[in-house]
Structure formats: structure tokens, C-alpha cells
Structure 1
Amino acid sequence: MSLSKSLLFPRLKVASIAFRAIQTSSSLQSGHHIEYWWGHEKAAGREVVGHGVSGEPVYQDRLDYWYPAIRFRVDDETSKALREKEKGDWKNLSVDDKKMLYRYSYRQTLAEFEAPTGYWKVITSIVFFVISCATFYAIFLNRFVYPALPPTFDNDYKEAAIERQLVLEKGQFLGPAKYYDYEKGQWKR
């Protein structure tokens, strides 16, 4: 016998409600295009015109799927009159009427959706700011936190260590002794 999730995880329900409240009207990032997604909570009063990309009644501006499941705006008196005119001959509609019908169904045109937003400037400035902060932090650490280099990094110390190895490993066939000629007192060529 198992307990329900609400009894096992009482805080999970509160977290999911809070997450759902945040998720009902948010902007999602897809490449460099911003998508607008309105969930079930905001679908009330809007006409369902299709099944959408996922089969749920949500409004979503997407470049790969242009047709949302619901209309962008809630119907009011103006839109209802236009919808009645729309059922007739489209030659009787003015250009402003057609534009208004479009704006009741969609948030923006494809040209508006694909227009550059200039958001790359914000991203670039943030990247350069982070790089400069990291550079100044590294300079601070090298200057004030890390100790000076130990004497083992000096060239004199390295030469003395190699001479010590040559003396201690005389006659061995591996290591620096292999490349040193003890009779002539110089490195083999």
C-alpha cells in the first residue's frame, strides 16, 4: 500500500503550484527569438482555433509552428462585429479591419517576430563583464594571496639538481646519465 504524493511530499504541491503560477505567462528563449507561452489559466475567454503544437489550448509564438491553438486576444464587441463581417466577402473589409482581425489572432507578424532585438549587446556586455571580473580576481590572487615562487623554479637550482642526478646515477642506462659522456665531461651529441 502506498501513500499519495500529497501525503508523502506536502511541500511538493506548494512548489508545483508556485512553479505553475510562474509558468502561466512567461517568455521562453529559442535561439534568438522570444516565444510567448500562455497556459490554460490565461486561455479562458479565448476562442480555440486548433490543436496547437502539443494539443493543449495555449498561445505560443513560435517560428517552427506558426499556428497557436487559441487566439491572442479575448473576444470583445469590436472583434465579434469583425468576425461577422469576416464571414462574408473579404472585399468588403478595409485594410484596417484585416489588420485588426490579424492582431486579434496573433501577437505579432512574422517580420516583427524575426526582427533583431539587439539582445546580443546585453549578452556581450555580460560576457565581457564576467571575463574582466575573472581577470581582476586572478590578478588579485597572484599579487596578494599566492606566495612567491619557490627556489626550485630557479634555473640555478634546476642545473644543480641535474648535476646531482648525474653524480648519483653514474652508469645507469636511464635518465639524464644516459645522455652524458662522463669521460669528456659533456653531454653526448
Structure 2
Amino acid sequence: MASSLLRVAFYRVALRRPLHVTAANGIYSYHPPRVGEDPNINMDFHESLITPLPVFPRTIGFEGELKTLKEKEKGDWKSLSAEEQMDLYNMYFSMSMADMCREKDDWKSVLGVISLVVAFSLWLHYFLHTQLLQPYPESCTNPEWAHEVIKKQIQFRANPITGYASMWDYENNCWKK
């Protein structure tokens, strides 16, 4: 629940574009289109689950077929085909509520990147330990060496409170039970 609240707060603060509205008449300011973009698309248009009904429509200017469709919109909607109704909907909105509620597949990309990083790290570890670094010393890998170290600690009575010397019974010459 906390993560969804944080996500909603993040979308409200970070991703919401400010609306350019003039105070005098409430008409949004015109921004010239960027190269390669449709000049009839509103650059300030933003819709999400937080703001499902945007203030301004998606399409600014209507030309050709859209103009005739806009005139048909004022009449009886039963005379419009399903395709024309979808075109009208797409003039005002870019996504349906089902599209907005659909889960994103971003987790697959994140999982792929994490898998690549882990695989590279494991390969680097293997390469370093087989090609560049010296092998581990015998004192780390030989169990007999470890037993000899424990015997010396018992003989020297090293760390008699919590170490091996505290677990050794010196009178019976065996481990305490």
C-alpha cells in the first residue's frame, strides 16, 4: 500500500506537466511543433490514472476528415460507425482506462539487466581467481592445518573465556560436554 501511495505522489509531483493557461480567457498558449511531430497534437496534453480527464483535448486543429467528423459529432451519434466513434475518442484521449490500468512490462527489462550484471560479476570473479590472483594459501584450505591451529590455541590457553580453550577440559584431556 505504501508503495502505491508513493507512486501516486511521485506521478503527481514529478511527472505532471504544468498547464499553460492564460488567466484572461482560459485559452492555452500555443507552442510551435517540434520537427517531425504532428502540429495538430497538443504538446501540453497529459492523462494518467491520477488525471484521467485532461483539461484540454489531445488534438488542437482539425483538418480534412477530422473536420467532417467533428461536424458529424454534433448530430446523432447513432449515425456514426464504430470506427468513427473511435476516431472521435482518439481526438480527445490518447489511452483508454483499460490501457491506463494495464500493468507495465518494465520489470522484465529490469530483471534482464540484473541478470546481465550478475552474470558479468560471476564471470569476473571466476576470471580473477583462475587467471590473475594467486591460489588461496594452504592455511585457509587445508583442514589439517586448521586442526593444528586449534591444538596450539588449546595448548597456549588462548582466549580462555569464549574461545576453544573455554571448551576444552584440561583435566580429562577432551572436549567439555
Q: State the TM-score, normalized to the length of structure 1.
A: 0.56
Q: 2:96 aligns with which of 109, 116, 120?
A: 109
Q: How many residues align?
A: 146
1:160-179, aligned counterparts within 5 Å?
160-169=148-157, 174=161, 175-179=163-167
Q: CA deviation at 1:182?
A: 2.7
Provide the alpha-carbon RMSD of the alignment.
Answer: 3.8
Q: State the TM-score, normalized to the length of structure 2.
A: 0.59
Q: CA deviation at 1:134?
A: 1.8
Q: CA deviation at 1:136?
A: 1.0
Question: Higher strand proportion, which one?
Answer: 1
Q: CA deviation at 1:39?
A: 7.8
1:1-189, aligned counterparts within 5 Å?
41=31, 58-77=44-63, 78-113=65-100, 121-153=108-140, 154-169=142-157, 174=161, 175-189=163-177
Alpha-carbon distance in structure 1 between the residues aligned to 2:124 and 2:115: 14
* Aligned-partner residue type, residue 51 of structure 2: Y
Alpha-carbon distance in structure 2 between the residues aligned to 1:46 and 1:182: 89
Alpha-carbon distance in structure 2 between the residues aligned to 1:113 and 1:42: 28
> Tell me, which stretches of 5 or more residues in structure 2 are unaligned?
1-10, 21-30, 34-38
Residues 161, 94 of structure 1: alpha-carbon distance in 2 compared, 3 angstrom cutoff: closer
* Aligned-partner residue type, residue 165 of structure 1: Q
Instruction: Give a deviation string over 1:81-110, Cα, whole Å, max 9, x none.
Output: 333332333334343332221121122434
Alpha-carbon distance in structure 1 between the residues aligned to 2:40 and 2:46: 16
Query: Secondary structure at 2:166's aligned position in 1?
Result: helix
Instruction: Give a deviation string over 1:113-164, Cα, whole Å, max 9, x none.
Output: 5567766554444333222222211211221233222233232222222222
Alpha-carbon distance in structure 1 between the residues aligned to 2:104 and 2:40: 31
CA contact (8 A) 2:40 2:62 kept: no
Percent identity reads: 23
> Tell me, which stretches of 5 or more residues in structure 1 are unaligned?
1-29, 48-56
Partner of 1:50: none
* Aligned-partner residue type, residue 136 of structure 2: L
CA contact (8 A) 2:41 2:60 kept: yes
Instruction: Give a deviation string over 1:162-186, Cα, whole Å, max 9, x none.
Output: 222222228x852333332333322
